[in-house]
Amino acid sequence: MQKIAVIGAGTMGNGIAHVFAQHGYAVNLIDVSAAALEKALQTIGKNLDRQVSKGSITEAVKTDTLKNITTHTDLDLGVKTVDLVVEAATENVNLKLKIFQDLDLHAPANAILATNTSSISITKIAAATKRPSQVIGMHFMNPVPVMKLVEIINGYATDQKVTDAIVELSRKLEKVPCVVNDYPGFIANRILMPMINEAIISLFEGVAGVEEIDTVMKLGMAHPMGPLQLADFIGLDVCLSILQVLHEGFGNPKYAPCPLLVNMVTAGYLGVKSGEGFYKYTAGSKDLVVSSRFVAR
């Protein structure tokens, strides 16, 4: 595999494109929005600058990485000659099914079709194509250039040769692949999201405040980030979506999202991306300030 298409120029998509391009792969970064593609290139440039300043890469590597990325707003054109597609569009099942139907029509017959979904069934996505044996989950962690894990998810029909190829590719990207099977939430989010939800329930029920909950988990459990801060970082809308997938997939009330989370997402308080969630975020500031909505009056 030498030529890669990445669909979606958001946080995950630009990070995935960055990592492939930095490791010498030709990358077609695809998004319906030209503005999103321009923003993605700016983000990748800034992240590469940060790597240069830390001494982890050279200016030459930065230059070569950016040269390896070509942007497209036309999916058909962007995937017609690639060996692998990694879909990183919004976590919406209907959107992903439509994308994979289109990929099945326009990507080469031997291309592997991967999805970066964090919770949606690989088997369901694969069923939208006529090549389910070539569909697999390739779930990167955010921020992609930094985080080592790639959760590789086999759909019901995924061919072992495809799994082996993606495991080998992940190692070439200097990532650590972990292969799991296709059940709601896979492993990462099946374990993480109930913990985050329980932290939100504890806040909702008045057991403790935002800072107290996060401090207990950081200092008591050696987590680098508390669950409420992590939820803000992931995006509260994404957390809600994953919990809904778990709740629907297992039919178990323990996965039901906390009403506080539902209300916050409905009101548009999504965490870092909206400027406020459990904490308030100000551009240019690294101070962690609890949202005034959760400060005792």
Binding site, by residue number, is 8-13, 31, 91, 96, 118, 142, 273
- Active-site residue flag, 292: no
Sign of CA dihedral 40, 45, 46, 51: positive
SS3 content of the chain, % helix, strand, coil (to 5): 50, 15, 35
Q: Considering the candidates 139, 154, 197, 202, report the single residue annotated as catalytic.
A: 139
Please pick, among 151, 197, 202, 276, the residue that the annotation labels catalytic.
151
What pLDDT, on the 0 to 100 scale, is given for residue 286?
Answer: 84
Task: Give me the helix-helix angle, 34-54 and 59-67, nearest 10°.
Answer: 160
Q: Is 197 a catalytic residue?
A: no
Write out pLDDT tens, residues 11-51.
Answer: 999 999 999 999 999 999 999 999 999 999 999 999 999 99
pLDDT in tens, the chain (297 residues): 999 999 999 999 999 999 999 999 999 999 999 999 999 999 999 999 999 999 999 999 999 999 999 999 999 999 999 999 999 999 899 999 999 999 999 999 999 999 999 999 999 999 999 999 999 999 999 999 999 999 999 999 999 999 999 999 999 999 999 999 999 999 999 999 999 999 999 999 999 999 999 999 999 999 999 999 999 999 999 999 999 999 999 999 999 999 999 999 999 999 999 999 999 999 888 889 999 999 876
Q: What is the rounded distance in angstroms from the CA atom of residue 108 to the CA atom of residue 104?
A: 8
DSSP code for 276: B
Q: In this structure, which amino acid lies at residue 182?
A: D
Domain residue ranges of the chain, discontinuous segments joined by +: 3-181, 189-291
Structural contact between residues 99 and 7, judged by C-beta atoms closer than 8 angstroms: yes
For residue 18, give every residue at least 6 positions away whose Cβ sits within 8 Å of its Cβ, in sequence order, or none: 44, 47, 48, 65, 144, 145
Which residues on adjacent β-strands are paired with residue 1? none
Q: Give the pTM.
A: 0.92
pLDDT at position 285? 86
Region of 24 please: left (phi>0), alpha (psi -120 to 50) or beta.
Answer: left
Q: Check: CATH 3.40.50.970 for 189-291?
A: no
Is it true that the peptide bond before 143 is cis, omega within 30 degrees of 0?
yes
Q: Which of 68, 119, 170, 189 is catalytic?
A: 189
Per the annotation, binding residues for NAD(+) are 8-13, 31, 91, 96, 118, 142, 273
> For the chain, how many residues are written?
297
CA distances from 293 to 112, 239, 240 (A): 46, 20, 19
Give the SS3 label for residue 133.
Answer: helix
Write down the catalytic residue from 118, 119, 154, 197: 118
Residues 3-181: name the CATH superfamily: NAD(P)-binding Rossmann-like Domain (3.40.50.720)
What's the pLDDT score for residue 297?
62
The confidence score (pLDDT) of residue 283 equals 85
